[in-house]
Structures are given as C-alpha cells and as structure tokens.
Amino acid sequence: MLLALTLAGVFVFGLSGGLAAVQARLDVFGVVVLAVVVGLAGGVARDVLIGVPPQAVRDWRYMAVAGGAGAVTFLAHPLLGRLQRPILILDAAGLALLSVTGARIALDHHVGAFEAVILGAITGIGGGVLRDILVREIPVVLREGLYAIPALLGATIAVVGGNTDWAIVGAVVCFAVRLAGIVFGLNAPRAGRERSSERSRVPEP
Amino acid sequence: MLLALTLAGVFVFGLSGGLAAVQARLDVFGVVVLAVVVGLAGGVARDVLIGVPPQAVRDWRYMAVAGGAGAVTFLAHPLLGRLQRPILILDAAGLALLSVTGARIALDHHVGAFEAVILGAITGIGGGVLRDILVREIPVVLREGLYAIPALLGATIAVVGGNTDWAIVGAVVCFAVRLAGIVFGLNAPRAGRERSSERSRVPEP
Amino acid sequence: MLLALTLAGVFVFGLSGGLAAVQARLDVFGVVVLAVVVGLAGGVARDVLIGVPPQAVRDWRYMAVAGGAGAVTFLAHPLLGRLQRPILILDAAGLALLSVTGARIALDHHVGAFEAVILGAITGIGGGVLRDILVREIPVVLREGLYAIPALLGATIAVVGGNTDWAIVGAVVCFAVRLAGIVFGLNAPRAGRERSSERSRVPEP
C-alpha cells in the first residue's frame, strides 16, 4: 500500500519533470532522463540522509515507473498540457504523495518523529527543486507561498497519525492546501524595495 | 563551545541566504527556506560524506537557528542592507566559522587530517554554493579569487592546532584573508581571450 | 589498472570542467575548483549512494589529478581550444572512462548487477551535470540525444563482461557511440509545439 502510494508519487513527479523537459525543448531522451531524476531525487535524498542504500537505485520498479512517466509525457503531452498549469498541479500531487510516504518510510528506519517529518518534507520537495535547477528556474519551493508548509503539514499528520490511513489523510490535506495556494495565487508578503542591481558584488576589474 | 561557533556560522550563513532571497524578490517563506538550506547545506554535506546521520536533521536547534536567521533577515533586511556588500561579508563570516568547526567535527569522527581539512572546507563552502545555484548565480567560490584558499587555510590551522582555541585562530585568519580579497577586489589572473560564444555545441537542427 | 583508468577519467573530466570555467571567464582559482568538482563529483555520488566513504575525499591522488587538470587547462587552454568542440570531446572521454570504472568499483562493493550498471552511469554522468549547473547551462545529459544511453551501454558491458578487459571494451563502445552522436549531430525527436511562455505559473500579484 505504502509502495503503491510511493510509486504513484514517483509517477506524477515524473510527469511534471517530463513536461518541464518538453517545455524546455529537450528531445525524447532528455524528457525520460528528467522524468527519472525528478521522480527519484527526493527519495534518494531521504535514504542518503538516513544512511541506507537508496531504494530507487536497488529496486528496478522505481526507475521503470519514473522512466515510464517520461515516455507517457512524451507521447501524451498535448493531453497533459490541457490541464490548467499542468506542471504545478502534477507537482502538487507528487509533493503530497511523497511527503507522507517519505515520512512513513523514514519512521520504518527508526528515526525520531521530528526527523521523520523533516525527511518526509525533503522527500516531497527534493524532486521539484532538482527539476527547476536543471531547467534553470528558481525552485518552486522558493517562488511559491504555500509549498514547504503543506509538505511539513502532511508529513506531520502521517507521523502523528501512525498508520497508512492517516498517511492518506495527510496527503489529501497537503494537496488541498497546496492547491489553494495555486488557485488563489496566495503569496506571502515580500520584503522591501531593494533591487537586484543593488546586489553586493566585487567590482569588475 | 564548538556547538556555539557552529550555530553562529549557521546563523550568519542563514542571513546571507535570506538576503539573497530578499534580493531575488522571494516572499517570506522563500526567505526562510533559503536561509535554512544555506545555513545547513555545508554541514549536511560533510556528515553525508563522513557517513554519519546529519546532525542538522536530527537536532532541531540547527533548523531553529537557520530558520530564525531567515525571519531576522525578513524583518531587519534594510538594516543588514546598510552593510557594504552584505551578502559577501556575511558569507565570509559563515565560511570562516563553518570551515574550522566542520574540520573539528570531522576529526571527532576519526577521519584523517587530510580528509578533515577537505571536509572542513566543504562545510564552509557548501552553503554559499547552494545559495548561488538556487538564485541562479555562478557560485561565489568560482567567481572570487580568494575563497577556497582561506577555507582550506582556516581548516588546516584548526586541524593542526588541535584544540578549539586554534579553531578560533583559524576562523580569524580565514575571515581576514577572505575580507582582504573582498576589500581589495583581489582577483587572480583569468585565462585568455576565448569568448563564450565559441563554446562547443552541437549545431541546432 | 582500474585505478589508472579511473584517474584518467578524472583527469579528462577535470579538463572539461577547467575549460568550461575558462569560457565562463573565471579566474585561475575558479578554473581549478571547477576542475576538481567536475572530476570528482560522479565518483563521490556513487560512493555516497553505495554508502561507503568517498574515495575521492580519502585519497589525495584523486584531488591532485583533478586539480592538476585544472592547472593544465589554465596553462594550455589555447591548445585544448583547438580541438573541435573541446568540452564535448573531453566530456565524452570522461563519460566513457568513469561509467565503466564506476560500474566495476560498484561491483567491488558487492551490489547487484542492475545496481552496478546504474551506479556506473551515475559516476560517468555526474561530473558533467554539476559542471553545467555551476556555469548555468542546461546539463548535457538533458540536451544531447546520445548521452545516458552510451553510459548505460558501457557500464553494462563492463558488468556483464566481468573483468577489466571488458571494461576497456565498454569504454571504447561508450566513447564511440557518444562521438557518433556529437559528430553526426544526432538528436532524437522533440515533442510538440508548446512554447516555454505557456509554462504554467501563478500570476504575479
């Protein structure tokens, strides 16, 4: 069950990575590679931080699902593109699924509750960060108001609730809060009037 | 004592990350997230390379200090902005503090002296690299003449000296050398006249 | 023998990193740092994923070879620049050498055959990804048609063949396939007509 939810998260994150590659005009190999990287990055980061061999490298099903998401994107991207803001919606679904399953998997490795929440959020956030870095965007976790908060919220519900049912509740809550942020364009306040041209630099010689 | 120096380094690096986020026009969540990532990245990289669970994920004080630096930046950024080249100065302080404490922490995990110096420098350099990647700058360690050298110098003094007093000496030396580089705009020679447009590429189809 | 091939791979990847730094107009320290990072990144990623302390941090020869590649680039870059598409050619040689040696080293740590192939490809691909991120290019593995495929092919030959002779065959096959991709400008099909301006975003407030 946990595995099914995790692979679902890998798949939708893979779709978001594949779509980002399509929009960056990459070819079919680039689409598949970016789907794999985005689908698996968060889980690999979690396993490395826990100190266990990454499941995504050991178990071929992870790579197959993420690569499959890339192939699906390449074939079906006009369909996916008909979603409103397709990358953000798929990203939100991946965030929700991987934050809660990431937290549960962390608990299975006997880490503390605080750590499990943090590792769950890292699992959910990691893929999108890498996707945006690789196509040279500022990562969505930095650009968007409600992103890290719903990930931490979903992971907390999954950890405190204590079983897979609560993980599903956590995923629904995370997805709903994240969607609200997207739909209503909620953005938290920004600081000041500083301009990027004021950025401190050593003068050119 | 070592913990206090480390948390001070996390805090000033967090301020530099927060300021970079303010200048990239991110909202308050982006400021806090970037402060956390920049404050903790170097130490997490060190612990992963040593092969121990990252302290910054286990111990909530690291995250609290780095997140607090983000909040302080958001509230006090006009004040911080009055520093000359604020990001570079704060970055230099973080580089100095984390290079020496990173080297001492590495020694506590029974690595060799050479390795401890390298791991110390990675601890000091890591946060700034990630900050610059995330706001899409070329990392300061690549742009600036005196950056890796003072980090290696400070870490070497901390390792060879053999106690916390020497770590403080190392931090002061590192900070002084780095500041000299900033203030005098020291830049090492550049290579040749090649232009970036000569960069080899497969021709577009 | 495996060590010699690995260090040769580190050296040519270091040259590609150094050249990228020269073309980004970095100074001599930036050239050396980028050479070191690019030369060592893939192997460090492999060792972290296996869960062993990275050889490149423990053994000073790795850093010396990669740093030496940076120094050579700085002094000899007009010579290297006379190659057709120098970064891509050096990158192809590094890809070939590190994919096969990475796979053999992974096997030495008793991982499964599937995992060894994946870890070998990661060793070969990692350096180029980091190089391109750090100088703000889209990574070559995403831009170019034949990149991950030859890496996986070479690693598979090295794993299935079962000794160092087959590793050399794998490296030659990988290099030849990759070169064919560069020389003939082979690019796989791209998806659709979507434009990057259609990229979903939350509207600016």
**Residue B54 has what pLDDT?**
93
Residue C45, both tokens: 């990623």
- C183 pLDDT more than 70: yes
Share of chain B above pLDDT 90, in %: 71
pLDDT of C92-147, one tens digit each?
Answer: 999 999 999 999 999 999 999 999 999 999 999 999 999 999 999 999 999 887 89
**Residue C196 has what pLDDT?**
41
Which whole number is the average pLDDT over B49-65? 93
C154 three-class SS: helix
DSSP letter for each residue of A1-24:
-HHHHHHHHHHHHHHHHHHHHHHT
Residue B49, both tokens: 């390379």
- B133 pLDDT more than 60: yes
Please give the residue of chain A at the shortest CA–CA distance from B63.
Answer: A118
**Residue B185 has what pLDDT?**
73
| Contacts with C86 from chain B: Cβ below 8 Å | 200
B85 closest CB neighbour out of A139, A188, A200 = A200
Please give the residue of chain A at the shortest CA–CA distance from B41.
Answer: A49
Number of domains in chain A: 1
For A101, what's the count of Cα atoms within 13 Å in the CB-facing half-sphere? 19
CA dist A129 and A95 (Å) reads: 11
Nearest 10 degrees: CA dihedral of C6, C8, C12, C13? 10
Chains near A with 3+ CB pairs less than 8 A apart are B, C
Residue B69, both tokens: 């630096």
Cα separations in angstroms, C180 against A29, A90, A129, C124, C144: 16, 36, 33, 18, 12
CB B139 within 8 A of CB B128: yes
Residue C102, both tokens: 């990475």
B–C CB contacts, 8 A cutoff, strictly below: 100
CA dist B54 and B43 (Å) reads: 7
A144 three-class SS: coil
Which whole number is the average pLDDT over B125-154? 92
Q: Check B49 against C52: CB less than 8 A apart.
A: no
C53 three-class SS: coil
CB A179 within 8 A of CB A144: no
Burial class of residue C4 in the structure, from the number of CB atoms within 10 Å of its CB (0-12 exposed, 13-18 middle, 19+ buried): exposed
Token pair 């423990």 is at which residue? C58
CA dist C102 and C178 (Å) reads: 17
| Assigned domain for C137 exists | yes
- B64 pLDDT more than 50: yes
Q: Could you tell me which of B70, B6, B77, B68 has the C-alpha nearest to residue B33? A: B70
**Residue A84 has what pLDDT?**
66
Q: Check A188 against B28: CB less than 8 A apart.
A: yes
| Assigned domain for B139 exists | yes
**Residue C203 has what pLDDT?**
40
Q: Please tell me the distance in Å from A104's CA to the nearest CA on chain C.
A: 21
Burial class of residue C169 in the structure, from the number of CB atoms within 10 Å of its CB (0-12 exposed, 13-18 middle, 19+ buried): middle
Residue ranges of alpha helices (H) inside B51-110 are 55-58, 60-80, 86-108
Residue A102: count other Cβ atoms within 10 Å of its Cβ: 32
**Residue B199 has what pLDDT?**
40
| Assigned domain for A170 exists | yes
Q: Could you tell me which of C57, C58, A124, A46 has the C-alpha nearest to residue B44? A: A46
Q: Could you tell me which of C118, C101, C100, C114 has the C-alpha nearest to residue C49? A: C118
Please give the residue of chain C at the shortest CA–CA distance from A183.
Answer: C202
B200 closest CB neighbour out of C21, C52, C87 = C87
Which whole number is the average pLDDT over B84-94? 88
Q: Indicate the average pLDDT of chain C.
A: 88
Residue B117, both tokens: 């110096």
Please give the residue of chain A at the shortest CA–CA distance from B133.
Answer: A133
B187 closest CB neighbour out of A114, A199, A205 = A205
C76 Cα distance to chain centroid: 21
**Residue B66 has what pLDDT?**
97
| Assigned domain for C103 exists | yes
Instruction: Please report which confidence band the pLDDT of residue B96 belongs to, taking 50, 70 and 90 as the band edges.
Output: very high
| Residue A198 per-residue DSSP state | G
First CA to last CA across chain A, in angstroms?
60
**Residue A163 has what pLDDT?**
83
Residue A193: count other Cβ atoms within 10 Å of its Cβ: 7
Burial class of residue C201 in the structure, from the number of CB atoms within 10 Å of its CB (0-12 exposed, 13-18 middle, 19+ buried): middle
Please give the residue of chain C at the shortest CA–CA distance from A89.
Answer: C200
Chains near B with 3+ CB pairs less than 8 A apart are A, C
Please give the residue of chain C at the shortest CA–CA distance from A75.
Answer: C191
Please list the ranges in chain A whose pLDDT falls under 50.
194-205
| Assigned domain for A200 exists | no
Instruction: Please report which confidence band the pLDDT of residue B192 belongs to, taking 50, 70 and 90 as the band edges.
Output: low
**Residue A192 has what pLDDT?**
62
| Contacts with C200 from chain A: Cβ below 8 Å | 84-89
Disruptive mutation site among A22, A28, A40, A57 for chain C (greatest number of C CBs within 10 Å): A57
For the entire predicted model, the pTM comes to 0.87
**Residue B183 has what pLDDT?**
83
Chain A: residues touching B (Cβ < 8 Å): 48-51, 111-112, 114-115, 118-119, 129, 133, 136, 138-139, 141-149, 187-192, 194-196, 198-203, 205
**Residue C102 has what pLDDT?**
96
Q: Domain span at residue B12?
A: 2-186
Tell me which of A62 and C182 has the higher pLDDT: A62
A30 closest CB neighbour out of C49, C142, C198 = C142
Chain C: residues touching A (Cβ < 8 Å): 48-51, 111-112, 114-115, 118-119, 129, 133, 136, 138-139, 141-149, 187-192, 194-196, 198-203, 205
Q: Please tell me the distance in Å from B104's CA to the nearest CA on chain A.
A: 21
Tell me which of B192 and A38 has the higher pLDDT: A38
CA dist A183 and A69 (Å) reads: 25
Q: Check B118 against C63: CB less than 8 A apart.
A: yes
Residues 6 or more apart in contact with residue C22 via CB below 8 angstroms: B191, B192, B194, C31, C73, C74, C77
- B195 pLDDT more than 50: no
Please give the residue of chain C at the shortest CA–CA distance from B194.
Answer: C23
Q: Check B142 against C21: CB less than 8 A apart.
A: yes
| Contacts with B40 from chain A: Cβ below 8 Å | none
Determine the Cα angle at A185 with ends A184 and A191, to 5°. Answer: 135
| Contacts with A141 from chain B: Cβ below 8 Å | 30, 33
| Assigned domain for A53 exists | yes
> Dihedral of CA B20/B21/B25/B31: which sign?
negative
- B173 pLDDT more than 90: yes
Q: Please tell me the distance in Å from A192's CA to the nearest CA on chain B.
A: 8
Q: Could you tell me which of A66, A39, A43 has the C-alpha nearest to residue A54? A: A43
Strand partners, C27: B190
CA dist C75 and B140 (Å) reads: 23
A138 closest CB neighbour out of B136, B182, B185 = B136
| Assigned domain for C197 exists | no
Q: Could you tell me which of C73, C43, C45 has the C-alpha nearest to residue C59? A: C43
CA dist B105 and B99 (Å) reads: 10
Residue A149, both tokens: 């908060």
Which whole number is the average pLDDT over C74-89? 82
